[in-house]
Chains A and B, each alone.
Chain A
Amino acid sequence: RAAGNRRIAMIVKNLGNSYFDACANGAKQAAGEIGGIDIIYTASAKPTAEDQIAVIDAQIAQKVDGIIVSANDADALVPVGKKAAQRGIKVMSFDSAIAPAGRLVHLSASSTPLIGAKQVQMIAKTLGGKGEVAILSAASTMTNQNSWIEAMKEEWKKPEYKDMPLVATVYGDDQDDKSYREMQGLIKSHPNLKGVISPTTIGIRSGAKAIVDGDLVGKVFITGLGLPSEMKDYVLKGACDTFAIWNPVEYGYSSTFIMNDILNGKPTSEGSKLSMGKKGETTVGKDGECIMGEPFVFDKSNVEEFAKIF
Chain B
Amino acid sequence: MNAPVTQESQDRYTVLDRPPWRLRDALLRWEVILVILLVLTVVVNSLVSDVFLDVYNLADATSNFSEMAIIALAMALLILVRDIDLSVAAIVALASMSIGYAAAAGWSPAMLFVVGIGVGLLCGAFNGALVTWFRLPSIVVTIGTMSLFRGLTQVILGDQALTKYPQPFLDLGQNYFIQMTETSVPWLFVPPVPLSFLIFLILAVVFGIVLHTTAVGRKLFAIGSNPIAARFSGIPVDRLRFFLFVLSGIMSGLAGALLTARLGSMRSNIAIGWELDIVTMVILGGVSIAGGVGSILGVFLAVLVLGLVRFGMSINNIPGQVVSVYIGALLIAVISIPRIFEKLRGWRAGR
Is chain B in direct contact with chain A in the complex (CB below 8 A)? Answer: yes
Which A residues are within 8 Å of any B CB, using their own CB? Answer: 9, 15-16, 40, 42-46, 48-51, 53-55, 57-58, 60-63, 73-76, 78-79, 83, 139-141, 143, 146
B158 touches A140 (CB 8 A): yes
B54 touches A141 (CB 8 A): no
The list of the 9 closest CB pairs from A to B, nearest first, reads A75-B265, A45-B320, A58-B314, A76-B263, A61-B57, A140-B159, A44-B320, A54-B64, A76-B265
Docked pose: A16 CA to B262 CA in angstroms? 28
B280 within 8 A of A: no
B272 touches A48 (CB 8 A): yes
The answer, among A15, A79, A143, for a CB contact under 8 Å with B264, is A79
- Given known contacts A45-B323, A83-B174, what 13 new A-B pairs fall within 8 Å (CB)? A40-B317, A49-B267, A50-B64, A50-B263, A50-B271, A53-B64, A54-B64, A57-B314, A74-B161, A76-B265, A141-B161, A141-B267, A141-B269
A140 touches B317 (CB 8 A): no
Which residues on A sit within 8 Å (CB–CB) of B297? none
B61 within 8 A of A: yes
User: Are A57 and B321 CB-contacts (below 8 A) given A48-B272, A48-B273?
Assistant: no
- In the assembled complex, the CB of A84 is this many whole angstroms from the nearest CB of chain B, namely 11
B159 touches A146 (CB 8 A): yes
The answer, among B51, B64, B170, B269, for a CB contact under 8 Å with A62, is B51
Which B residues are within 8 Å of any A CB, using their own CB? Answer: 49, 51-52, 54, 57, 60-61, 63-64, 154, 158-159, 161, 163, 170, 173-174, 259, 262-273, 310-311, 314-315, 317-321, 323-324
- In the assembled complex, the CB of B195 is this many whole angstroms from the nearest CB of chain A, namely 14
Which residues on B sit within 8 Å (CB–CB) of A74? 161, 265
User: Are A42 and B319 CB-contacts (below 8 A) given A63-B51, A140-B159?
Assistant: yes
- In the assembled complex, the CB of B169 is this many whole angstroms from the nearest CB of chain A, namely 12
Which residues on A sit within 8 Å (CB–CB) of B154? 140
Docked pose: A179 CA to B130 CA in angstroms? 33
A55 touches B320 (CB 8 A): yes
- In the assembled complex, the CB of B5 is this many whole angstroms from the nearest CB of chain A, namely 68
User: Are A54 and B310 CB-contacts (below 8 A) given A42-B319, A60-B60, A61-B57?
Assistant: yes
A15 touches B319 (CB 8 A): yes
A58 touches B269 (CB 8 A): no
Docked pose: A141 CA to B320 CA in angstroms? 21
Docked pose: A48 CA to B266 CA in angstroms? 11
- In the assembled complex, the CB of A63 is this many whole angstroms from the nearest CB of chain B, namely 7
The answer, among B170, B263, B310, for a CB contact under 8 Å with A49, is B263
Which residues on A sit within 8 Å (CB–CB) of B321? 15-16, 45
B259 touches A50 (CB 8 A): yes
Docked pose: A63 CA to B266 CA in angstroms? 28
Q: A16, A53, A75 — which one has the most chain B CB atoms within 10 A of its CB?
A: A75
A-B contact pairs, 15 of them (CB 8 A): A15-B320, A42-B317, A45-B324, A49-B265, A49-B267, A57-B311, A58-B315, A61-B60, A62-B49, A73-B267, A74-B265, A76-B266, A78-B264, A79-B173, A139-B269
Q: A42, A54, A143 — which one has the most chain B CB atoms within 10 A of its CB?
A: A54
User: Are A57 and B64 CB-contacts (below 8 A) given A50-B271, A63-B51, A75-B264?
Assistant: yes
Which residues on A sit within 8 Å (CB–CB) of B320? 15, 42-46, 51, 55
- In the assembled complex, the CB of A27 is this many whole angstroms from the nearest CB of chain B, namely 14
Which residues on B sit within 8 Å (CB–CB) of A143? 161
Which residues on B sit within 8 Å (CB–CB) of A140? 154, 158-159, 268
Docked pose: A9 CA to B64 CA in angstroms? 19
- In the assembled complex, the CB of B311 is this many whole angstroms from the nearest CB of chain A, namely 6
Which residues on A sit within 8 Å (CB–CB) of B314? 42, 54-55, 57-58
A73 touches B60 (CB 8 A): no
Closest to B92 in A: A50
Closest to B272 in A: A48
- In the assembled complex, the CB of B317 is this many whole angstroms from the nearest CB of chain A, namely 5
Docked pose: A5 CA to B78 CA in angstroms? 51
A76 touches B272 (CB 8 A): no
- In the assembled complex, the CB of B88 is this many whole angstroms from the nearest CB of chain A, namely 14
B311 touches A141 (CB 8 A): no
Which residues on A sit within 8 Å (CB–CB) of B60? 57, 60-61, 83
Docked pose: A139 CA to B150 CA in angstroms? 14
Which residues on A sit within 8 Å (CB–CB) of B51? 61-63
User: Are A43 and B319 CB-contacts (below 8 A) given A75-B161, A75-B264, A76-B263?
Assistant: yes
